[in-house]
Amino acid sequence: MELYKNYLKEQLDKSEKYREMLFRRGYLFTNKTINNTSAYPFYGLWNHFAVNKYHLYVHEKQTCYVASQDNITSIIIGHAYNPFDMTYDENVLCKDLLSCYKEGMEKYFNKISEFTGLHVVILVDGDKVIACQDACGLTGCYYGKVAEAMYITEHPQLVADLCGLQMEPIVEKLIQSKCYNIGNRHLPGDITPYKELKRIGANTYVAFDSDFIVKRFYPLSPHAEFRTDKEKDAGIKRIGNLIHNGIECCSKKWKKCAISLSGGTDSKTTLACANGLYDKFSYFSFYSKPQELVDAQGAKKICEYLGLKHTLYEIPQDNQFFKDFELIKRLLQHNTNYFVNLADNEIRKYIYLHDLDAYDIELKSWASEVARVFLERKYDISFKGLINERQCSIFQTRYFGHPDLLKWSDKIYCDFLKKVGLDKPLFNYEPADMFYWEVRMGCWGVSVVSSQQLYHRVTMPINNRKILELFLAFPHDERKNDSVHKKVMAYMCSKIIDANVEIPNLYFHSYRILLEKIYYKYRTVMYRAKIK
């Protein structure tokens, strides 16, 4: 890894062409002054904000909003909008947070839970610091102390570069193993490649006052349970209207807005909720490998049925099409901390969209997977009890031929589940739902978003804690068979249902999934879990 880093630094020092790609849209919050921000890894492309005794450094392509009152400072890094009151000016949202904080932590976090978008929220009260993320934890927030200096950042690799940190040998062994790519390509629990740094995730916050501590702020009470048709109908309307409100905020906040589409349920739900705003958006799909073409063609068919112009981008399938592909690949590996292991087709897609530079914002949809009972659909198993450490390991990586790594992962997950309170029931929230929300989405999703920072800004109108809570209020089986999403579509734009485009999820029916099910049974049936 050091050789890759040294090569990358050497190339960027010689030429400024790709410097803006390095840790693009990143941020660094620290109590240490960075003396030279004109050299690697900043290259004079980061803005600096002084906040009490702390320093905030933000990449020029990232947005940052700061409001202060009575020695208390509220910071939003990224973007946020509130579909409940239609506020999409982050300066106003920062002031709202200051007002709520003065009334207590519960009200403060309740206000944050109204926000949609991709963001990290930091509050500084004197010397005390509180940091949390968007609903699904998709904007990176890693924290730690190195030589008595504190750091909160989107990129652990940035701190590693500044402080000369060394990757943990067992992490390097994992990410270089052949089994690692047979899975979701993220690390166990809250670890990073560096022992000094940890990750926080959805529904938790990290507080700093001489040292770091992680606490849960959500949920604080049971969620509603819709049982009657009247309750369900009201819930469908509430979900559809709130997603629509968020999409409307996007249309007012940015000029060149686009919705990226597939023929899948999540994508069609977002498109349905944009009804009434269709003239405010562009619509596109892409395929970077042949398997993606069916989805893209399904999206095109839906748009044609609705009378919407749809653009289908065919991403070149030859690395040679892109100048300096290998250099950009190494740069992306560095940005994603060497554990995401992006496939070449993904890298080609990101470079293509970076060079295209056609949109200010792209609306994506996959945050709604949280509500769709993904694990049961995939493994055809009913998950009634707590998700234990071994299940977490298997869901992450198929540790073929590496029992030592599997045991290590189990230990990491056991400690992590206890740390964030997933070792016990959280009111009436289904443990499998909370796993998917906080672990699958938080670990995997944050890595995906980090890699997507290379191109135009991305948002997700369903990435809202209170909207996800409304989805979870519906009965388990209705969420599992997608009837909730389909009812939202029917309420918001019935023509999407009428288009009759159903793209089968081949992921649930492939030979690979059969092997994964067998492996899951083999590795869990005799395991004596510590989390039960």
What CATH number did the domain enclosing 181 receive?
3.60.20.10
The kind and range of the H/E element at 361 are: strand 361-363
Comparing C-alpha atoms, which of 39, 38, 58 is closest to residue 48?
Answer: 58
282 touches 359 (CB < 8 A)? yes
pLDDT of 259 reads: 99
pLDDT of 506 reads: 63
Q: Select from 216, 250, 268 the last residue of a domain.
A: 216
**In a shared domain, residues 207 and 313:** no
d(CA 199, CA 442): 10
Residue with tokens 């990129």: 155
For residue 67, is it within any domain? yes
How many residues appear in the chain? 532
For residue 152, is it within any domain? yes
pLDDT of 192 reads: 98
Q: Is the dihedral of CA 216, 379, 368, 332 positive or negative?
A: positive
For residue 14, is it within any domain? no
- Please list the pLDDT of the chain residue by residue as tens digits (532 residues): 677 788 999 999 999 999 999 999 999 999 999 999 999 999 999 999 999 999 999 999 999 999 999 999 999 999 999 999 999 999 999 999 999 999 999 999 999 999 999 999 999 999 999 999 999 999 999 999 999 999 999 999 999 999 999 999 999 999 999 899 888 899 999 999 999 999 999 999 999 999 999 999 999 999 999 999 999 999 999 999 999 999 999 999 999 999 999 999 999 999 999 999 999 999 999 999 988 999 999 999 999 999 999 999 999 999 999 999 999 999 999 999 999 999 999 999 999 999 999 999 999 999 999 999 999 988 888 998 999 999 999 999 989 889 999 999 999 999 999 999 999 999 999 999 999 999 999 899 999 999 999 999 999 999 999 999 999 999 999 999 999 999 999 999 999 999 999 887 766 667 777 888 888 999 998 899 998 8
Residue with tokens 């996800």: 468
The number of folded domains in the chain is 3
Alpha-carbon distances of 475 from 227, 353, 378, 431, 483, rounded to whole Å: 8, 39, 19, 15, 10
For residue 296, is it within any domain? yes
Comparing C-alpha atoms, which of 402, 400, 403, 396 is closest to residue 417?
Answer: 396
Range of the domain at 419: 374-432+516-524
**In a shared domain, residues 174 and 253:** no
pLDDT of 140 reads: 97
Could you tell me the pTM of the whole model? 0.96
For residue 204, is it within any domain? yes
**In a shared domain, residues 380 and 367:** no
**In a shared domain, residues 171 and 245:** no
**In a shared domain, residues 84 and 204:** yes
For residue 507, is it within any domain? no
For residue 10, is it within any domain? no
pLDDT of 508 reads: 65
pLDDT of 454 reads: 95
pLDDT of 1 reads: 67
**In a shared domain, residues 68 and 31:** yes
Alpha-carbon distances of 201 from 198, 236, 446, 531, rounded to whole Å: 10, 28, 9, 19
Q: What is the CATH number of the domain that holds 451?
A: 3.40.50.620
d(CA 115, CA 216): 18
For residue 256, is it within any domain? yes
114 touches 470 (CB < 8 A)? no
**In a shared domain, residues 445 and 427:** no
179 touches 401 (CB < 8 A)? yes
**In a shared domain, residues 259 and 357:** yes
Comparing C-alpha atoms, which of 146, 160, 149 is closest to residue 192?
Answer: 160
Residue with tokens 């940035």: 158
**In a shared domain, residues 451 and 494:** yes
**In a shared domain, residues 164 and 52:** yes
**In a shared domain, residues 355 and 386:** no
**In a shared domain, residues 62 and 172:** yes
